[in-house]
């Protein structure tokens, strides 16, 4: 594939700890059927860190990358201990060229946050985000410990420590997996009551075997968009309320795309996803959410000890992920809002029958929220501006009818075989570990 030769990575998700002190029922690392974490070190070793940073140095120099992002993940990354972060960042200073601008983020469940941790985050310039799913009831339905007890109190205790920290001097971003059974306005108002300044709402990762949806099958007048409706209720309050208000990246990205801009975001838009995951054993893989596709689905035999970053990008799964907003199925390529939606998040497109040759399981929901936001934006714009932007009001049914009409005269994509190569995840896993 010609475009694959142009791929690069400027962001790595570091799985520095492969265990967690929570046991969230929806967790893609531990509770969707992928048990490969059991064969990996509990914490990333110094040897793996050294190899990784030397590979990144070579990659950045080859591709003239001047900005590079590290995101510490797990499991629970704080289980790696303070010394890991001190040594890691010192090694970055020693190994990576000084002209490369480095940024650090960390995603934590918040339970272990303390004043000492906050002082260290501030000293090392690590920006932290906390996972919290809303109200106590919404959060504790899925985010539980290994004894099945809710985690809300412990998470909020850590969050408040971070918010009060004079060293950090900011309120951590919140990553919130949508619980569609919760009241969306209660969740949003609860975050505001906690002093949250930024929220990332994400859809729970599901493949088609778990939640089969298709925008072009069944009764065209039937709308089942529970996640879209959930987001619409929050948007309507958020969009029209006075500032300052919390930032909600999901909405901000949709608005930017509607206005003709494009920002890197693996869930939406049209840009390449220049991200790779580094496991605790040094394995270089595509995004960890793809673990939902099958046991060992992301395993490819590529490791920082033996392979360059460019070699990892030659892996076809890494290529499909990186170019997921360009490698759309036929249905998505016919969609009038594809430049905003980008086909949705790649793992949510997967089926064992067709690989990635599917729309997202959330296709209807994304159509619902995107058209709603586009119509709200148009109401705020001068007609001249809407003409320049070449946007118009769309209903949910407008989108569906447009897709059906174009599907009849559109050929299958030339890359169809690549999308369908990933059928039957278990067979792929057996091949990869052989």
Q: Which residue has the higher pLDDT, 34 or 113?
A: 113
Q: Tokens 């970053």 label which residue?
A: 309
The residue among 156, 9, 11 whose CA lies nearest residue 72 is 11
**Under 8 Å between Cβ of 312 and 318:** yes
The pLDDT value recorded for residue 160 is 98
The pLDDT value recorded for residue 431 is 52
CA distances from 313 to 96, 205, 209, 302, 320 (A): 20, 23, 28, 10, 10
The pLDDT value recorded for residue 120 is 98
How far apart are the C-alpha atoms of 341 and 66, rounded to whole Å? Answer: 29
* pLDDT at residue 401 is higher than 50: yes
Helical pair 226-240 and 363-380, crossing angle rounded to 10 deg: 20
The pLDDT value recorded for residue 412 is 93
The pLDDT value recorded for residue 29 is 83
And the tokens for 341? 């939606």
How far apart are the C-alpha atoms of 125 and 102, rounded to whole Å? Answer: 10
346-350 average pLDDT score: 96
Q: In sequence order, what are the residues at sequence separation of 6 or more whose Cβ sits closer than 8 angstroms to the Cβ of residue 90?
A: none
Alpha helices in 268-362 (DSSP H): 309-312, 316-322, 330-333, 338-341
The pLDDT value recorded for residue 212 is 43
- In the chain, the N- to C-terminal Cα span, in Å, equals 26
And the tokens for 399? 């989108």
User: Tens digit of pLDDT for each residue in 87-129?
Assistant: 999 999 999 999 999 999 999 999 999 999 999 999 999 999 9
What is the percentage of the chain residues whose pLDDT exceeds 90? Answer: 82
């Amino acid at each position: 594939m010609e475009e694959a030769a142009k791929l690069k990575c400027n962001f790595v998700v570091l799985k520095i700890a492969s265990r967690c002190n929570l046991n969230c029922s929806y967790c893609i690392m531990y509770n969707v059927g992928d048990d490969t974490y059991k064969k990996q070190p509990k914490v990333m070793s110094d040897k793996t860190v050294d190899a990784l940073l030397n590979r990144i140095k070579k990659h950045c120099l080859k591709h003239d990358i001047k900005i590079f992002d590290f995101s510490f993940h797990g499991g629970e990354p704080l289980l790696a201990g303070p010394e890991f972060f001190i040594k890691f960042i010192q090694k970055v200073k020693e190994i990576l060229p000084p002209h490369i601008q480095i940024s650090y983020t960390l995603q934590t469940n918040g339970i272990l946050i303390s004043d000492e941790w906050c002082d260290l985050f501030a000293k090392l310039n690590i920006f932290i985000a906390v996972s919290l799913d809303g109200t106590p009831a919404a959060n504790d339905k899925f985010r539980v410990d290994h004894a099945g007890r809710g985690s809300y109190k412990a998470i909020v205790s850590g969050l408040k420590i971070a918010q009060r920290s004079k060293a950090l001097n900011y309120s951590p971003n919140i990553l919130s997996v949508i619980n569609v059974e919760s009241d969306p306005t209660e969740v949003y108002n609860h975050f505001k009551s906690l002093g949250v300044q930024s929220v990332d709402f994400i859809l729970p990762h599901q493949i088609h075997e778990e939640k089969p949806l298709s925008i072009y099958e069944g009764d065209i007048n039937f709308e089942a968009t529970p996640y879209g409706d959930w987001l619409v209720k929050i948007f309507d309050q958020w969009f029209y309320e006075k500032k300052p208000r919390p930032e909600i990246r999901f909405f901000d990205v949709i608005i930017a795309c509607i206005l003709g801009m494009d920002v890197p975001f693996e869930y939406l838009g049209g840009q390449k996803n220049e991200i790779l995951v580094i496991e605790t054993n040094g394995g270089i893989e595509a995004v960890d959410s793809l673990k939902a596709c099958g046991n060992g689905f992301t395993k490819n035999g590529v490791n920082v000890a033996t392979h360059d970053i460019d070699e990892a990008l030659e892996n076809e799964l890494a290529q499909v992920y990186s170019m997921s907003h360009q490698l759309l199925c036929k249905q998505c390529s016919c969609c009038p809002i594809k430049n905003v939606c980008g086909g949705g998040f790649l793992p949510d497109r997967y089926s064992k029958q067709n690989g990635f040759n599917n729309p997202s399981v959330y296709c209807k929901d994304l159509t619902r929220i995107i058209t709603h936001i586009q119509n709200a934006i148009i109401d705020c714009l001068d007609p001249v501006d809407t003409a320049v932007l070449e946007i118009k009001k769309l209903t949910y049914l407008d989108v569906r009818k447009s897709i059906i009409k174009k599907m009849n005269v559109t050929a299958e994509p030339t890359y169809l075989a690549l999308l369908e190569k990933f059928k039957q995840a278990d067979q792929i896993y057996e091949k990869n570990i052989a």
